[in-house]
C-alpha cells in the first residue's frame, strides 16, 4: 500500500524550495507530504488528493511580494473543500493579511521564519480537529438516520429519548393521544410519527388546526355539510373526519374548540358516528384521534373552557414536549443540522457558526422553539456572505444595546441571560416595526399570540 494512503495528507505550498525541503524532511515521518511551488500546482494537487491540512504561503508567483495569488488559492481551496484546515504563513509585517485570511476561513496563521517544532504543534492540532469534526459529522448522519425512524424528529437529550420511547409504545395501539407543548416544539411531527408507525400508516393522515378556523365554520370542516344546509352550501361536502376514515385525524390546538362543538366531538368519540351539518343520517367512521394543545389544558378544565369528559376520551396517553430552551445540547445539534440542510439547499459553502453566534444560540430562550430556530438559520444561510454565520446574521445584533457576550455572562445564571436577551430582542423587534405586533412576531419567528404572552411575561 502506498504511504500516502496510510498517512494523513498535508499540502505544503511555498515558492521557496528550501522551506519546502525543510518541511518535507520534518513532517515526512508523520504525514504524507505533498509539495507545490505555485498556485496552479497547489490547486491541481489539492483537487487530486484532497489533503486534510494545508500550509499556504500567501506570497506566491507571479506575485511573490504581494498576496493576491495566495488569497486566490485560499478562496478556491475553501470553495472546493470548506472543512480543510489551511494554515496561512506570512512575513513579519503580514499580520493584517493573516487576520484577513482567518476571516476568509483559514484555520490559523504562522509568521516566518518557520520554527518546525512550533509549526508541528499547530499542524497536529489541525489534524486532531479534523478527526473530531469528522466524528461529529458521522454522529450527525447517524442522528439524521435515526430521525427517519421518528418521522424527522431529532433529539439526543433524555427527555426527547423518553418521547421517542412513548411514541413507539403507543403507535401500535388504538388509544387516543394528546400531545402538549409550546408552539413550535413539533407536536404535529409527533402525531405523524405515531401514525406512520401504526397499523393505519397506509390510510390517510388528516390534520386540522382548530384554532385557525372560525367557530362558525369549524363544525362543517370537521363533520361536513349537506347541500342547502346553510347559505352558500351548494353541494354536499365531506368533513375531515370522513376523509380520515380508516386512518388518523390530528386535531391541532384542540383547546380552541368552542364548548358546543366539544359536545358533538365527544358524541362522535363515544359512538364512532357523525352527522353532517344539515343532515340526519348517522354515518359510521373508523378514525383514530390524535390531538395537540399549547395551552394549559388542566387550567382550561378548571376554568370551564374545556370539558373534562372530552379530555379523558382524548388524552388516554399524554406526551409532553419540552421547550427547546430545556433541551440542553439539542439546541446546537439542531442548529448545525439546519445549517447543513439549508447550505445544501442554497448551494452555500458555510463552515459553521462563529463563537459569538454559538454563544447567542445557547443563551437565547427560543420562545418560538424549533420552528423559530429553523427560521433564523434558514434566513442566515440565505443572507450570509462569508463562511461563518455571525450573531447578526441570525438577527441577534439588532438588540438596542448590542450586548457583547461577556455582558450576557455577567447577568448571573444562564436563565437570567436568556430572559434578558429575550426581552431585548422583543423590544427591538417592536421598535423597528413601529409598534406593529404582527410584523414584530414575524421577524422574531413566533406567532402573534405567543408574542403577546411573551410581552406579558416581561412586562412590556
Contact 120, 107 (CB under 8 A): no
Place of cell 376520551: 313
Tell me the average pLDDT of the chain: 84
DSSP state of 451: H
Tell me what the mean pLDDT of segment 367-373 comes to.
92
- 220-226-231-233 Cα dihedral, nearest 10 degrees: 90
Mean pLDDT of 160-181: 92
Specify the higher pLDDT residue, 410 or 152. 152
pLDDT interval class at 398 (50, 70, 90): very low
Confidence of residue 305 (pLDDT cuts 50, 70, 90): very high
What pLDDT band is residue 377 in, cutting at 50, 70 and 90?
very high
pLDDT band at 65 (very low <50, low <70, confident <90, very high): confident
**Which pLDDT score is estimated for 381?**
93
pLDDT of residue 130: 83
Which residues touch 98 (CB under 8 Å, ≥6 apart)? Answer: 88, 90, 106, 109, 111
Give the pLDDT confidence score for residue 141 in this predicted structure.
57
Measure CA 69 to chain center: 37
- Location of each CATH 1.10.8.60 domain in the chain: 325-457
Percent of the residues in the chain that have a pLDDT greater than 70, as a whole number: 89
Q: At what angle do helices 355-363 and 414-432 cross, to 10 degrees?
A: 100
**406 confidence band (pLDDT: 50, 70, 90):** very low
- Residues 329 and 437: their CA atoms lie apart, in Å, by 31
339-353 average pLDDT score: 87
Provide the pLDDT for residue 404. 42
Q: What is the mean pLDDT of residues 292-319?
A: 92
Cα 131 to its chain centre, rounded Å, is: 24
Do the beta carbons of residue 266 and residue 258 sit within 8 Å? Answer: no
Q: Which of 107-121, 270-284, 299-313, 431-445 has the lowest mean pLDDT?
A: 431-445
Q: Is the pLDDT of residue 4 over 80?
A: no
pLDDT classification of 129: cutoffs 50, 70, 90: confident
- Domain limits, CATH 3.40.50.300, in the chain: 158-322
Q: What is residue 289's predicted lDDT score, i.e. its pLDDT? A: 95
122-126, 405-409, 449-453 — most confident range: 122-126
Note the helical H segments in 52-94: 68-80
**Residue 408 pLDDT greater than 60, yes or no:** no
Overall CATH class of domain 158-322:
alpha beta
Pick the CATH number of 3-140 from 3.40.50.300, 3.40.50.2300, 3.40.50.720, 1.10.10.10: 3.40.50.2300
Higher pLDDT, 351 or 432: 351
Q: Please state, in angstroms and rounded to a whole number, the distance separating the CA atoms of residues 360 and 331.
A: 11
Instruction: Of 181, 180, 187, 182, give the one whose Cα is nearest residue 454.
Output: 182
Alpha-carbon dihedral angle through residues 91, 96, 100, 106, given to the nearest 10 degrees: 40
> Is the model's pTM score more than 0.75?
no
Which one is predicted more confidently, 235 or 252? 252
Residue 340 pLDDT level (bands cut at 50, 70, 90): confident
Q: Which of 340, 334, 408, 322 is nearest to 373 (CA)?
A: 334
pLDDT at 413: 64
Which band of pLDDT confidence, cut at 50, 70 and 90, is reported for residue 68?
confident
- 354 near 397, Cβ under 8 Å? no
Residues of the chain with CATH 3.40.50.2300: 3-140
Lowest-pLDDT range, 145-154, 238-247, 340-349, 354-363? 145-154
pLDDT at position 410 over 90: no
**Is the bond preceding residue 18 a cis peptide, omega within 30 degrees?**
no
Residue 409's pLDDT band (cuts 50, 70, 90): very low
Report residue 75 as a C-alpha cell.
478562496
| Correct CATH for 325-457 of 1.10.8.60, 1.10.3720.10, 3.30.300.130, 1.10.10.10 | 1.10.8.60
Confidence of residue 353 (pLDDT cuts 50, 70, 90): confident
144 vs 308: CA distance, rounded Å: 39
Higher pLDDT, 200 or 406: 200
CB-based burial label for 126 (10 Å; 0-12, 13-18, 19+): buried
Task: Encode pLDDT of 21-46 as tens digits.
Answer: 999 999 988 999 999 999 899 999 99
- What is the pLDDT averaged over residues 274-303? 91
Query: How many C-beta atoms lie closer than 10 Å to residue 214's C-beta?
Result: 7
CA distance 120 to 402: 39
pLDDT at 140: 57
Please give the Cα distance from 217 to 227 (Å, whole number): 15
Share of the chain above pLDDT 90, in %: 40
Please indicate whether residue 378 or residue 155 has the higher confidence score (pLDDT): 378
Q: Residues 23, 114: contact at Cβ < 8 Å?
A: yes
> Average of pLDDT values for 198-226?
91
Does residue 347 sit in helix, strand or coil? coil
pLDDT class for 411, splitting at 50, 70, 90?
very low
Amino acid at each position: 500500500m502506498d504511504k500516502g494512503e496510510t498517512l494523513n495528507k498535508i499540502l505544503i505550498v511555498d515558492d521557496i524550495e528550501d522551506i519546502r525541503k525543510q518541511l518535507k524532511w520534518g513532517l515526512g515521518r508523520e504525514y504524507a507530504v505533498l509539495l507545490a511551488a505555485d498556485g496552479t500546482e497547489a490547486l491541481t494537487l489539492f483537487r487530486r488528493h484532497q489533503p486534510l491540512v494545508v500550509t499556504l504561503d500567501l506570497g506566491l508567483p507571479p506575485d511573490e511580494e504581494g498576496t493576491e495569488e495566495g488569497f486566490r488559492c485560499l478562496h478556491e481551496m475553501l470553495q472546493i473543500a470548506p472543512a480543510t484546515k489551511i494554515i496561512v504563513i506570512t512575513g513579519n509585517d503580514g499580520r493584517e493579511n493573516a487576520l484577513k485570511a482567518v476571516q476568509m476561513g483559514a484555520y490559523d496563521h504562522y509568521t516566518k521564519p518557520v520554527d518546525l517544532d512550533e509549526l508541528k504543534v499547530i499542524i497536529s492540532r489541525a489534524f486532531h480537529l479534523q478527526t473530531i469534526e469528522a466524528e461529529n459529522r458521522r454522529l450527525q448522519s447517524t442522528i439524521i438516520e435515526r430521525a427517519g425512524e421518528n418521522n424527522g424528529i431529532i433529539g439526543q437529550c433524555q427527555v426527547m429519548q423518553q418521547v421517542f420511547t412513548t411514541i413507539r409504545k403507543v403507535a401500535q395501539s388504538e388509544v387516543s393521544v394528546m400531545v402538549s407543548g409550546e408552539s413550535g416544539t413539533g407536536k404535529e411531527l409527533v402525531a405523524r410519527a405515531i401514525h406512520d408507525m401504526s397499523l393505519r400508516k397506509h390510510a390517510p393522515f388528516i390534520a386540522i388546526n382548530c384554532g385557525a378556523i372560525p367557530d362558525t365554520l369549524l363544525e362543517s370542516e370537521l363533520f361536513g355539510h349537506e347541500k342547502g344546509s346553510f347559505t352558500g352550501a351548494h353541494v354536499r361536502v365531506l368533513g375531515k373526519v370522513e376523509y380520515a376514515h380508516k386512518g388518523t385525524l390530528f386535531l391541532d390546538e384542540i383547546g380552541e374548540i368552542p364548548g358546543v362543538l366539544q359536545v358533538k366531538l365527544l358524541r362522535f368519540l363515544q359512538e364512532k358516528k357523525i352527522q353532517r351539518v344539515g343532515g340526519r343520517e348517522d354515518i359510521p367512521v373508523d378514525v383514530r384521534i390524535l390531538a395537540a394543545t399549547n395551552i394549559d389544558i388542566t387550567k382550561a378544565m378548571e376554568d370551564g373552557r374545556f370539558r373534562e369528559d372530552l379530555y379523558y376520551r382524548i388524552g388516554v396517553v399524554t406526551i409532553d414536549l419540552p421547550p427547546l430552551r430545556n433541551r440542553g445540547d439539542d439546541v446546537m445539534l439542531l442548529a448545525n443540522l439546519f445549517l447543513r440542510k439549508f447550505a445544501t439547499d442554497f448551494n452555500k459553502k458555510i463552515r459553521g457558526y462563529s463563537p459569538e453566534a454559538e454563544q447567542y444560540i445557547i443563551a437565547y430562550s427560543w420562545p418560538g422553539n424549533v420552528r423559530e430556530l429553523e427560521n433564523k438559520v434558514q434566513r442566515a444561510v440565505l443572507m450570509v456572505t462569508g463562511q461563518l454565520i455571525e450573531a447578526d446574521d441570525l438577527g441577534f445584533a439588532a438588540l438596542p444595546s448590542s450586548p457583547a457576550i461577556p455582558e450576557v455572562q455577567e447577568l448571573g445564571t444562564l436563565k437570567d441571560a436568556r430572559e434578558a436577551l429575550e426581552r431585548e430582542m422583543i423590544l427591538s423587534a417592536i421598535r423597528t416595526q413601529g409598534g406593529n405586533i404582527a410584523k414584530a412576531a414575524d421577524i422574531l419567528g413566533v406567532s402573534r399570540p405567543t408574542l403577546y404572552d411573551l410581552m406579558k411575561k416581561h412586562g412590556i
